Structure 1
Amino acid sequence: MTGGFAGFRFGIAELAILGLLFPAECEDLPVWSVEDRAIFRRAADLVARKGGDLFVPPGDGQDALAEAQWEANARASGWWPFTWVKTGPDGDCIRQVHDLTLPLLWGTEWLLVELERRRFTYADPAIRAASDLIRHAKARLDVLREHEGGFVNDVPDLRDVCERLSDTLQGRCPVLMAWPVLEPEPV
């Protein structure tokens, strides 16, 4: 397996990947097991391959993100809400979609800890931007949890807040992420 380095902008998918690789530990919940972390790693691989806007497979299909979502919700019911998106020209059709707010929150919390470990102060724009994104992600999750999931079309989007964090980080420090180069699977 080979690896690659790339400088890039942080968006929803990239922060969700970080969150799936470093899921939050909660004092009132058991520690993630090796099996749990393997599930989250497969979900991170899926997001790395496909990006942040992923539909849930129809019918009884289950992908790595669905498996990760079930694992998270087995610990705390409704922790990672199930969501849908309105589609079609008039928004009269719906499809279930993977909402990445929870893993994005985990990834941003991990990033914030790393920034603080490097002695960034609260006055630093990167710390403020990460804290702002955490606040927006928690507010989005609160709305989704209150409605037991629901339509993501009806809740505030996080793209602009992610862009502000990415802009701030680009101006403050290099952003690199190593990820294994994926070989095509034999047919």
Structure 2
Amino acid sequence: MSGGFVGSRLGIAELAILGLLFPAECDDLPSWSVEERAIFRRAADLVAQKGDDLLVPPGAGWDALAEAQWEAHVREPGWWPLTWMMTGPDGACCGQVHDLTLPLLWGTEWLLVELERRRFAYADPAIRAASNLIRQAKARLNVLREREGGVVNDVPDLRDACAALSDALQGRCPVLMAWPRLEPAPA
């Protein structure tokens, strides 16, 4: 395994990785255990490898994100809703997808705390963009929770808000994400 730096924009996958590495702590729920954090770390690895458009494995399939979603569900039912996406040329097919809104929200909240800790003023574009993304992510989650998950095709997307945050951060300070590069096992 080796490491690498990649210069890129912050998007859904990158913010979800931050959220999976730093899951939100709630006053009315116990702290995440070491085992739960290890599950979230494996989920972050999966997002780092595959990006933000991830289908749930079919049938009885189980991947690291499904395991992380289950841990969140055990803690608070409905906290991380199950979602599907209409696919195909005419939308006739339906596939279950991993919606990353909750970990994206956690990652953005963590990033906002870090920006505030560095004494960025509320008027700073990065603070405003992060606050706006948090509002939009919460609104998206509320819709998904009201529907008890469901199809995400008609739920507002967060890509524009992520792009605005990325632009604001690039104008304010560099953001570097280092991730171990997994090398294939020798044959």
- Following TM superposition, by how much is the alpha carbon of 1:3 offset from its aligned partner in structure 2, in angstroms? 1.8
Partner of 2:33: 33
- Following TM superposition, by how much is the alpha carbon of 1:186 offset from its aligned partner in structure 2, in angstroms? 4.5
- Distance (whole Å) between structure 1 residues aligned to residue 115 and residue 21 of structure 2: 17
Report the secondary structure of 2:84's partner residue. Answer: strand
- Distance (whole Å) between structure 1 residues aligned to residue 24 and residue 165 of structure 2: 20
* Equivalent AA in structure 1 for residue 174 of structure 2: P
TM-score (norm 2): 0.98
TM-score (norm 1): 0.98
CA deviations on 1:102-127 (whole Å, 9 max, x unpaired) are: 00000000000000011101000000
- Distance (whole Å) between structure 1 residues aligned to residue 49 and residue 181 of structure 2: 10
1:90 has 2:87 as partner: no
Please say if residues 82 and 149 of structure 1, whose CA atoms lie closer than 8 Å, have aligned partners that are also in contact.
yes
Report the secondary structure of 1:154's partner residue. Answer: coil
Partner of 1:106: 106
- Following TM superposition, by how much is the alpha carbon of 1:7 offset from its aligned partner in structure 2, in angstroms? 2.2
Q: CA RMSD in A?
A: 0.8
- Following TM superposition, by how much is the alpha carbon of 1:27 offset from its aligned partner in structure 2, in angstroms? 0.4
* Equivalent AA in structure 2 for residue 184 of structure 1: P
- Distance (whole Å) between structure 2 residues aligned to residue 148 and residue 48 of structure 1: 27
* Equivalent AA in structure 2 for residue 173 of structure 1: C
1:62 has 2:62 as partner: yes
Question: Structure 1 vs Structure 2: percent identity of aligned residues?
Answer: 81
Please say if residues 7 and 174 of structure 1, whose CA atoms lie closer than 8 Å, have aligned partners that are also in contact.
no
Please say if residues 2 and 183 of structure 2, whose CA atoms lie closer than 8 Å, have aligned partners that are also in contact.
no
Report the secondary structure of 2:178's partner residue. Answer: strand
- Following TM superposition, by how much is the alpha carbon of 1:71 offset from its aligned partner in structure 2, in angstroms? 0.3
Please say if residues 3 and 180 of structure 1, whose CA atoms lie closer than 8 Å, have aligned partners that are also in contact.
yes
1:8 has 2:8 as partner: yes
- Distance (whole Å) between structure 2 residues aligned to residue 146 and residue 110 of structure 1: 25
Q: Which runs of 5+ in 1 are unaligned?
A: none
* Equivalent AA in structure 2 for residue 56 of structure 1: V
- Following TM superposition, by how much is the alpha carbon of 1:185 offset from its aligned partner in structure 2, in angstroms? 3.3
- Following TM superposition, by how much is the alpha carbon of 1:4 offset from its aligned partner in structure 2, in angstroms? 1.6
Partner of 1:144: 144
Partner of 2:171: 171
Please say if residues 79 and 145 of structure 1, whose CA atoms lie closer than 8 Å, have aligned partners that are also in contact.
yes
- Distance (whole Å) between structure 2 residues aligned to residue 70 and residue 45 of structure 1: 17
1:51 has 2:27 as partner: no
- Distance (whole Å) between structure 2 residues aligned to residue 186 and residue 39 of structure 1: 26
User: Which contiguous aligned blocks of 4+ residues in structure 1 show a shift greater than 6 angstroms?
Assistant: none
* Equivalent AA in structure 1 for residue 152 of structure 2: V
Please say if residues 5 and 176 of structure 2, whose CA atoms lie closer than 8 Å, have aligned partners that are also in contact.
yes
* Equivalent AA in structure 2 for residue 32 of structure 1: W
